[in-house]
Amino acid sequence: MLLALCGALVHYFNSIAPGVISSDRRLKEAANAVMAHILIKDRVITLDTSPGVGKPALPAPDSIRYALRDTQGRLLAGDPELPAVAMNNETSQLFAMSQVDHRSVRSLTTRFDTRAGVILITLADVRAVPEPAARYGFMSTLLWDFVQLDITLVLVWVGIQLGLRPIKKLRDEIADRSPLDLRPIVESSVPREIGPVVITLNRLFGMLRTSVQSQQQFIANTAHQLRTPITGMQAQLDLLAAEPAAQPIKNRLLTLQEGIRQLAHSANQLLTLARADPAANVAAKNQAVDLSAIVGEVVAKFFDRALQSNIDLGADVKPASIQADPSLLDDLLSNLVDNALKYTPAGGTVTVSAGLRNRRPYLAVEDTGPGIPKADHHRVRQRFYRLPNSPGHGSGLGLAIVDEIARLYEAAVSIEAGANGRGTKVLVQFAAGP
């Protein structure tokens, strides 16, 4: 816009400058001609209008009008309609714009010292000056420049929108990814101008993927290495506790057995976390799983424990299925049931349900325990976080595992109060099937 304005101004001054220079030259020549015809007699100043030999001719009144005045502004000769122009004593010539016959004209006022005093000679070029035409040219040029600018901006905007389409597509592809989805971007689907950026991103994704896989492999190997000796220790402790000679220290052995069971449980949870991570388990969505069958297996697995704790463990299932890894769904539901049995007092109930809600498959576990404060609904999903005064010696990984597996299958986990405001209900709702 600034360049368009500057260009229009240059065009304007280029149009008006030659006319102004020509007019100024004519005014100076006319001023010299008028001064040549001034007569002073008895200190009276008059103007000799008759042609003389060797004198320049006075300007024609239809082209240049002139007036002679003294310093008090009194007209001595010439056109009385020509306005007086004020001048200071230090200026000999002054160009200005004057109003003559209701139009602006270029004028020149010259200070002329004579024996009879100072005379101010004002001349005005009353011929058509190029300024109105120049102004019109300036406005038309400016208008056309801005029209061109607007058209150019529209074309540039359209070009940028079309040119940025592949970049927007790439942006949307990356934005739609899970934070743990580190698959490389297909380089052939992007313009060559941003190919180096995609190559760099893929290199970064590769390094991150290798780091995550190394971490997951370390956790998985550690859990596997721990599980075998822990299982052996647990079996040896069970045999030792059954020996008659161990009766005096049976209470200590029972405490040791409980600690070993907790250690085995934590190792299994770490293994589940490693398997649930999308970076280490990208091919886990290839099998149809019947949710009612999963519920039946998990309830059967925990039935003896519920019976020993005097807890009513039941199921309420309706047909529903999803594409998932059965072992991960088993881990998800097992952690929910394990938490529910852990926090539900004797005489309470735990209900495991599955089915469809709003055409979306779900799994839910509801108990009659103390419940989870609403302020802690988000924190209980964090790893190793346990509510204050929680019973037992859990590791705080149960709901973290549930949340990790749910994110793998783009499911939503919600924590609600149970029936009649008692206990806790954890609902895992999966995405609707095709």
Can you read off the two tokens belonging to residue 59?
Answer: 């300007």
CA 108 from centre of chain: 63
> What pLDDT is recorded for position 394?
60
> What pLDDT is recorded for position 361?
93
Please identify which residue in the block is written with the tokens 């409980």: 258
pTM: 0.50
Can you read off the two tokens belonging to residue 261?
Answer: 């069971």
* pLDDT tens track, the chain, 434 positions: 788 778 777 776 776 667 777 888 888 888 888 888 888 877 777 787 777 666 777 787 778 888 888 888 888 888 888 888 888 777 888 888 887 877 778 888 988 888 778 888 888 888 755 556 666 666 777 788 888 888 999 999 999 988 888 888 888 888 887 666 778 888 877 778 888 888 998 898 888 888 877 776 776 677 667 777 877 887 888 888 888 888 888 888 888 888 887 777 777 777 776 666 655 554 444 688 899 999 999 999 999 999 999 999 999 999 999 988 888 889 899 989 988 998 899 999 999 999 998 889 999 999 998 888 887 878 888 776 777 666 655 666 778 888 888 888 888 999 988 888 888 999 999 987 65
CB-based contacts of 396, cutoff 8 Å, min separation 6: 382, 383, 384, 385, 386
DSSP codes joined into one string, 76-119: EEE-TTSPP----TT-SEEEEEEEETTEEEEEEEEEEEETTEEE
The alpha carbon dihedral of 285, 286, 291, 295 has a sign of negative
Phi first, then psi: give them for residue 362, nearest 5 degrees: -150, 160
> What pLDDT is recorded for position 282?
47
> What pLDDT is recorded for position 283?
44
Phi first, then psi: give them for residue 426, nearest 5 degrees: -105, 120
The alpha carbon dihedral of 331, 336, 339, 341 has a sign of negative
* Residue 127: burial class (beta carbons within 10 Å; 0-12, 13-18, 19+): middle
Cα separation, 81 vs 283, whole angstroms? 100
Task: Enumerate domains of the chain plus CATH numbers.
Answer: 2-134 (3.30.450), 192-274 (1.10.287.130), 283-429 (3.30.565.10)
> What pLDDT is recorded for position 71?
81
Contact present, 420 and 368 (Cβ < 8 Å)? no
Beta bridge partners of 105: 98
244 DSSP 8-state letter: G
> What pLDDT is recorded for position 284?
46
Can you read off the two tokens belonging to residue 85?
Answer: 């122009």
Which amino acid makes up residue 401? I
